[in-house]
Structure 1
Amino acid sequence: MGIVLYALDGCPYCVNVHDALSEAGVDYETHWVEPLHSDRDEVKRVSGQRAVPVLVDEDHGVTMNESENIIEYVDRTLAR
């Protein structure tokens, strides 16, 4: 799958990104992360930091964080 979202259950910023992806009709996979920042090694490996949400668009070679930036990217680049 080309789009992966790293998210934390209960995170309002992650919910906003989920909603934007769904509304845009984007197929994506969610990787749920651990609540403790120190346990988020996979997020650190792909993005260089441990905060979520993080979107990885493998098809376009894009990895980004910050929900507002991700939502703008979804609207501009991925929306069908």
Structure 2
Amino acid sequence: MTLRLYALDGCPWCEKVSDALDDAGIEYETRWVDALHSGRNQVKRVSGQRGVPVLIDEARGVTMAESANILEYVEQTLA
């Protein structure tokens, strides 16, 4: 698996990214994170911040946050 999505259950921005990946038929792994920012150390280790969503594309060496940026990346690079 080369794509990993860090997401929070019920997060509307995470759902938009997940829907875009699903609609494009892209395989990815979801890693669910803690609702409390203080519990998101795994996200901070990979992205430098605790916000979600965060998409990791290991094949291309890309780590990105912010749903708008991720959606643009999915549309222009992955789809």
Structure 1 length normalisation: TM-score? Answer: 0.98
What residue ranges of structure 2 are gaps of 5+ in the alignment? Answer: none
TM-score by length of 2: 0.99
Q: CA RMSD in A?
A: 0.3
Structure 1 unaligned spans of 5+: none
Hey, what does 1:39 align to over in structure 2? 39
Residue of structure 2 equivalent to 1:26? 26
2:16 matched to which residue of 1?
16
Report 1:40-79 matches (<5 A): 40-79=40-79
Aligned length: 79
Paired AA for residue 59 in structure 1: A
1:2 aligns to what?
A: 2
Over 2 Å off, 4+ runs:
none
Separation in 1, partners of 2:74, 2:27? 11
State the one-letter code of the partner of 1:43. V
Identity %: 67
Partner deviation per Cα, 1:8-54 (whole Å, 9 max, x = no partner): 00000000000000011100000000000000000000000000000
